[in-house]
Amino acid sequence: LLVIETMVIGENAATYILEMGDPVSIMDLARNMLALAGYDPENGDLGPGIVSTGLRPGEKLHEALVDTDERLGASRNPLINRALSLRERACDPDGILATLLEPARRGEMSGVRAALAQVLGSPEFPS
């Protein structure tokens, strides 16, 4: 319902963060799903099993919902917050495109990553 309400109160190009409750452990979720399927994970009966594969390239253990140059702003529903930028972002599509195309034309992926970080204001991009 929060998603539908966000569509109603939403403004163009606004980013909203929904209050979804406490984080859920994927391992706990997997054990609960096995228990619902009739297995007993508490006593070692994992049925088809749980395989931990580790992190994939670019995956994170923690997701930041608000960037360092943003803050949360209230909406009329306390479970829906809006991300508000603390800095002005001038929208210059031609300049952004030129910044990205220059290293791309030279085939410099590290330059493309650096240009993306500059345009998006993000300090990190996975290799």
Q: Encode pLDDT of 61-94 as tens digits.
A: 777 888 888 889 988 899 999 988 877 665 678 8
DSSP for 66-92 reads S-TTEEEEE-SSTTEEEEEESS-----
pTM of the model: 0.51
Q: Encode pLDDT of 51-60 as tens digits.
A: 888 888 888 8
Mapping DSSP to helix (H, G, I), strand (E, B) and coil, where does residue 118 land? Answer: helix
